[in-house]
Amino acid sequence: MFWTSWFLAVLAIVLAWPVPILLSRAQWPARSPFTAMLLWQAIALAGGLSMIGAMLVYGLEPVGDNLLAGLKALAGMVFNNAPTTELGFWHIFALSAAALLTAHLVFTLLLTYYKIQRQRRRHRELLALLASLR
């Protein structure tokens, strides 16, 4: 799992820095904005999941041979109040960072959804007001 965490970390860095720069300099997004928007969203999603995955895989490395075994062992530690002596400081730090980043991204998603719903409601109200003036 060690190499997997490094691969995911490198992928997250590549998706966060050179890929968006290259895409912003490309000429084709002006001709196909919907495709460009989908690509931007896919890059952002893959980058966020890579960051979370890199920290999660690194943090679970001492307790399992793969991600599922590591998550099962971690759940056993949490729910059974088992000792976490197998996990070092940096592994617990990585797991905490993965949890905080996940919470942050989910909160941002929910906040964005709320703002969009509020803007759409306001827009509908303004359209209803304009329609009533006719």
- Confidence tier at 11 by pLDDT (50, 70, 90): very high
Residue 134 has a pLDDT of 73
pLDDT tens readout for residues 98-132:
999 999 999 999 999 999 999 999 999 999 999 99
Rounded to two decimals, the pTM is 0.85
Q: Are 61 and 6 in contact (CB under 8 A)?
A: no
- Give CA 70 to chain center in angstroms: 20
Given this model, what pLDDT does residue 1 score? 84
Instruction: Provide the pLDDT confidence category of residue 2 given band limits of 50, 70 and 90.
Output: confident
**What is the structure's pLDDT at 127?**
96
Mean pLDDT of the chain: 95
pLDDT for 133 equals 87
Residue % of the chain over a pLDDT of 90: 93
Exposure string for 54-83, b = 16+ CB within 10 A, e = fewer? bbbbbbbbebbeeeeebeebbeebeeeeee
> CB neighbours (10 Å) of residue 15?
20
Domain ranges across the chain: 2-132
CA–CA gap between residue 43 and residue 112 (Å, rounded): 18
